[in-house]
Each structure stands twice: as C-alpha cells, then as structure tokens.
C-alpha cells in the first residue's frame, strides 16, 4: 500500500525570511492525521532568505538530520561545534537530554534551501552528539546511497534509531529498485523533480507513506533528487 502525501497539502508558513513547508504537524500547523510516520516525526522543507536564520534554540530527545539542497547553512551548537553545511552534506545532531544550536544563511545574496528531518530516538536521554559527512553526487547518481543508519554502515552518519536514510540523484529515464525487508515501513520524499514510484506519479515536494510492500521501483521522468526512509513498523 502506498499513500501519496501531495506537496500542496502540506502545512505552510511564510515568515518573510523563512518559507517553510511541513510534511507533518509542526509549530502552528496541526493535523491529527499527520503526526509523523513510524519514527519519522518531521520533514520541514525550508528556504531561508539571505542573512536570515534561526537564533539559538533548544531540542531534546530527538535525532535531527539536516540535508542541504542549495546554498550554505551555518551551524553552531552548545557542544562547541561550528560548521557550514552545503549540498551533498548530511548533518546529524542527537539532542539527548538537551542541546542548543543556531542555523543561519551566511550569504547576503543567495537563499539556502534545506530539509530538516526529525526522528524519534530509540532511547531517551542519550548523550548529545554531532556528526557531518559529505556524499559526492557520483555516489548517489542513479542509485540509492545510504547516508544515515543505526550502525554508520558504509560511511553513513549514525542515528540512534532502527531507521535508515537513502538519497538518490536520478537522471531522466533512470530507474532504481529497493527491496523493503519484511515487516518494515518506508517513506519517500521527492526533494525535487518528477518520477514514478511503483507507477504512482510524484512531483517536487510530494511524499509517500508505504506499508506492506516488498519492492519499490523508482523511475525518474526529470532530473530528480529523492530521499527514502526505511523505517520500523
């Protein structure tokens, strides 16, 4: 079973400096039917204007993954980390009992476009942590490259949950398949492009909730960037 989550039915907030689309309930957007999927709690599709950003704020007991699509996002946190996250980078921050951080667009000219992803951790109160890795385009070209996992497999960032995140860059006409293990769910987010998932048409910003499927087949119709979450039931 595959249920489409259309891009234009997501929650939306335009703050001037921030244009944000919420795949699941977040902040002032509340839909009791969209409180997350499995352990996936948040996918926010954020575009921050030049010079804008999120001032220092706190998180607790959440695995936070940041995936930049365009531009550069400057990060600082209470663990002493400071970095710039660019396209191809995947950042993981484990909030544990508490962590504070800020995120800003350091450019005075270009927007920064990124996905902020939250997953519930397997345990509460774990030690706060931070990790950032780069995955070159050729690693994701016409394939699904694992970029986050519970064991850091194949150089992926480590998340404290039985979930795996794959990223793919698919050219027009390219196809790739994924065998979903028995008893697992999946969620697909099309970051940009146009494709078909098991024949279901998807466009930029669409999501898909997946259960009771054993094989997922992706066929790109335009240049596409897709994220696949392999999730516990």
The Cα–Cα gap between 189 and 40 comes to: 12
Question: Would you give per-residue pLDDT tens digits along the chain (233 residues)?
Answer: 999 999 999 999 999 999 999 999 999 999 999 999 999 999 999 999 998 877 777 778 899 999 999 999 987 877 777 789 999 999 998 988 878 867 879 888 899 999 999 999 999 988 898 899 999 999 999 999 999 999 999 999 999 999 999 999 999 999 999 999 999 999 999 999 999 999 999 999 999 999 999 999 999 999 999 999 999 99
The domain that holds 84 is classified in CATH as 2.60.120.10
Tally of domains in the chain: 1
CA distances from 39 to 22, 70, 83, 120, 201 (A): 16, 27, 27, 5, 25
Distance CA 63, CA 122 (A): 9
| pLDDT score of 178 | 98
- Helix/strand/coil for 6: coil
The β-bridge partners of 12 are 21
Q: Check residue 137 and report its DSSP letter.
A: H
Instruction: Give CA–CA dist 9/180, Å, rounded.
Output: 27
C-alpha closest to that of 150 among 119, 177, 179, 127: 119
Give the per-residue pLDDT at 74: 86
Range of the domain at 182: 2-232
Q: Residue 161: its pLDDT value, please? A: 98
Upper half-sphere CA count for residue 41 (Cβ side, 13 Å): 13
Q: Listing from the earlier edge strand, what are the strands of the sheet with 175-179?
A: 175-179, 215-220, 194-197, 200-203
What's the confidence (pLDDT) of residue 218? 98
Per-residue pLDDT at 154? 97
- Which pLDDT value is given to residue 98? 78
Q: Please tell me the distance from the alpha carbon of residue 3 to that of residue 213, in angstroms, as a whole number.
A: 12
Q: Residue 87's closest CA among 104, 69, 99?
A: 69
User: How high is the pLDDT of residue 212?
Assistant: 96
Instruction: Report the pLDDT value the prediction gives residue 117, as an integer from 0 to 100.
Output: 98
pTM for the model stands at: 0.95
Predicted local confidence at residue 213, as pLDDT: 96
pLDDT of residue 37: 98
Residue 153 DSSP SS3: helix
CA–CA distance, 171 with 92 (Å, rounded to integer):
27
Closest CA to 180 of 146, 228, 145: 228
């Amino acid at each position: 079973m595959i249920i489409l989550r259309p891009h234009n039915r997501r929650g939306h907030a335009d703050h001037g400096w921030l244009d944000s689309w919420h795949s699941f309930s977040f902040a002032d957007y509340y839909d009791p039917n969209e409180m997350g999927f499995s352990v996936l709690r948040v996918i926010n599709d954020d575009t921050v204007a030049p010079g804008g950003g999120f001032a220092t704020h706190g998180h607790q007991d959440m695995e936070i993954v940041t995936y930049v699509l365009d531009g550069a996002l400057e990060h600082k946190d209470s663990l002493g980390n400071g970095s710039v996250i660019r396209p191809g980078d995947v950042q993981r921050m484990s909030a544990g009992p508490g962590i504070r951080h800020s995120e800003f667009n350091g450019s005075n000219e270009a927007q920064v476009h990124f996905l902020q992803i939250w997953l519930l951790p397997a345990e509460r109160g774990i030690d706060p942590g931070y990790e950032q890795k780069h995955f070159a385009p050729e690693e994701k070209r016409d394939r699904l490259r694992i970029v986050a996992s519970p064991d850091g497999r194949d150089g992926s960032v480590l998340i404290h949950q039985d979930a795996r995140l794959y990223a793919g860059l698919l050219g027009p006409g390219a196809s790739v398949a994924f065998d979903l293990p028995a008893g697992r769910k999946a969620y697909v987010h099309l970051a940009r492009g146009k494709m078909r998932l098991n024949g279901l048409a998807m466009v930029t910003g669409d999501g898909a909730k997946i259960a009771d499927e054993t094989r997922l087949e992706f066929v790109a119709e335009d240049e596409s960037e897709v994220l696949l979450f392999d999730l516990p039931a």
